[in-house]
Chain A
Amino acid sequence: MNWVDALTLASRSLRRRPGRALLTILAVTLGTTLLVALASVASSAGSRIVSKLSNGGPATAIKVSASKADSDQIYTDDLRAAGPKAISEATLSAVRHSPHVASVIPVIASRILAVPPPFGSSPALPAGEPAFGDTMVGVDLSKPGNLPITMLAGRLPRAGSLTEVAITESYLDHSGLSAANALGTQVEIAEPQAFQGSGSVQYRARWVRVEIVGLVSQQVGSGAFLVPIEQARLAQTWALAGVDGGDVFPLPSSPYTGLIVLASSLNDVHAARVLITNLGYANTAPEHLVASVLRYLGVVDIVLAGIGAVALGIAGLGVANALLAAVRERRREIGVLKAIGARDRDILRWFLLEAFAVGTVGGVLGAMAGLLIALWVGISVNAYLTEQGLQSIQFGDVSWPLIGAAILGTSLLAMAAGAVPALQAARLAPKEAVAAT
């Protein structure tokens, strides 16, 4: 008996008992649905939780400060700074070349004075340092996915733009702007420079007008403005062209205010932090927190996988039961087939293909239903979060490997479940089978 004959027999056999076939497929579908839905939700929730722990950025991000590390730095997730330490190009190079590091993103922060509209009526620049009360944080925005930034509204400034900025909620608090009308507003920014005036150090500013294009929550650095690094570099260059303002306004001593270091993987975070600490820099990363949460998520995954496995196991029993009933019903047919020359493996192929068909159809339907349920859960959760005034999270990403694994796994499980009945059928003695006529 060739494969086509066996497939014909399998499909016709299923159609002969449509009710039983449908119920068996339904059992497999339900099991697969549960497994796919749980896996999708758990995967999305897990990645979002880890993302939250790492402040919207990748969980492998390490923030490095232009500060010396103290001796306990490596044992804690927090920043343990002990005095300034310049971050040079050599530092960047040393970190970049580590096998545990995927990329290094430099950060430059500059102190500024920001004046919201209406322009022209703004007060005269106050004398002295306190006027420059805000900070712009400049970073390479060409790969925002690598940064601990969460968009709350609008968009990020275009990489390299000198006229666009994003603001944080802290700026909204003290500027009098609201989230609704901040986007599109123009702000004048004064970048300070100290110079030697007549007898004392005085300050002047380089004024630029920029547009607010986004509202963000960011952990790149402490500051009210997030800007492309080119803007911050210009401000730094302008400040360095002046004189040292002493304690009030010291010249920047480090080319970079900090670094965002992306470890190659979660497993590399610790090694990357050891390297950075050994270079002498204070740093922070949710390393221990993420590891701890991942352990808990691992337990949740095991529990959910267990629930899904039980459901699939029940589905497998359904397949086995249906096939056992089919073997009992088809003793005569099996006997006839053997009498006209079918070998054991021909009968085995017939029943295994039948199980495979049930598993595949159930797997495909279950995978689709599981994804729909995961999507529905995501919509429901987001509706609840929005109702509670919380930020929504994204669910329902289609994981093709998960779908493929679910369909393949279900098909193989159905075949495994059908193996015993199929072997029973294959080993049926032809005489006994014919006697059943």
Chain B
Amino acid sequence: MRLLGSGVAQRGTVARGSNVARLGSAIRLHDVNHWYRSGRSQVQALVDIDLEIPAGGYVALTGPSGAGKSTLLSLIGGLERPQSGTLMVGQHNLRDLHADGLAEYRRTTIGFVFQHFGLLDLLSARENIELAASLACASRNRRQQARDLLGEVGLLDRAEHRPGQLSGGERQRVAIARAFVNDPGLILADEPTGNLDAVSAMRVLDLLERVHRERGCTLLVVTHNEAVAQRAEQRFQLDAGRLNV
């Protein structure tokens, strides 16, 4: 595993399937603070976070409910900007990016996997992936790309099924296929096994880890589950917005 800044390779120069980390997806937080307003009061979600996640790493983020895990994931994923401190993902300084810049960042750099899968019920499995491909690039082979990804997660025969017609495990595998449609440098998984039974959870984790290895992307998993956290190469724990390494 390479640490931030320890290499000179550029993102995109790594061949697919390579196990070499991609520097473009390394994460560095320095003195990050974040808070919310709740009525007239202010809730401190993250306090003085200093964190470095190496490019190509597999990291688990744990902690009790309300510890700030999802907030940290949102900041790293570019869903919102930190109110103070420095947050760098690859070459991107997320505090400097505005709405369209953040959308571009999410589109090109991040793959999200949600606890509730986040698939659009309106669309079939294939169409969900095609829509993500459409957002990511103007590829004319979106359909083939979607089918390739579904094949990669073992769901080619379920391509035309809508999410409601799939099991929880299958939905999460479709979501994983969608997360990889833009060949992201960083996968952010928010409780990816939270809604799955034990067997499905292990299959999904196996899949995430396999794709992570094959593509060399950074994998950050937020979880309550100790068994899931133990599979990561490195783990961080958040407690009341503070980070315990």
Contact = CB atoms under 8 A, between A and B. Distances in A.
Interface string B169-200: 00000000010001000000000000000000
Given A9-B122, A12-B123, A340 B114 contact: no
B132 A340 contact: yes
Given A346-B135, A431-B79, A338 B116 contact: no
B131 interface: yes
B3 interface: no
B134 A340 contact: no
A336 B190 CA distance: 13
Given A336-B118, A340-B112, A340-B178, A2 B134 contact: yes
B30 to A, nearest CB: 21
B183 to A, nearest CB: 13
B54 interface: no
Contacts of B77: 339
A437 B115 contact: yes
Contact of B118 (A339, A342, A429): A339
B234 interface: no
A402 interface: no
B104 interface: yes
Interface residues of B, number: 33
Contacts of B79: 338-339, 429-431, 434
B179 to A, nearest CB: 8
Nearest to B178: A340
Interface string A423-436: 00000011100110
A429 to B, nearest CB: 7
Contacts of B70: 435
A434 B131 CA distance: 18
B152 interface: no
Given A8-B127, A434-B79, A341 B135 contact: yes
A341 B80 CA distance: 13
Interface string A8-19: 110011001000
A332 B118 contact: yes
A388 to B, nearest CB: 58
20 contacts: A2-B138, A5-B130, A9-B123, A9-B131, A12-B122, A12-B123, A332-B116, A333-B120, A336-B120, A337-B120, A338-B103, A338-B106, A339-B77, A339-B79, A339-B112, A340-B135, A340-B178, A341-B104, A343-B103, A431-B74
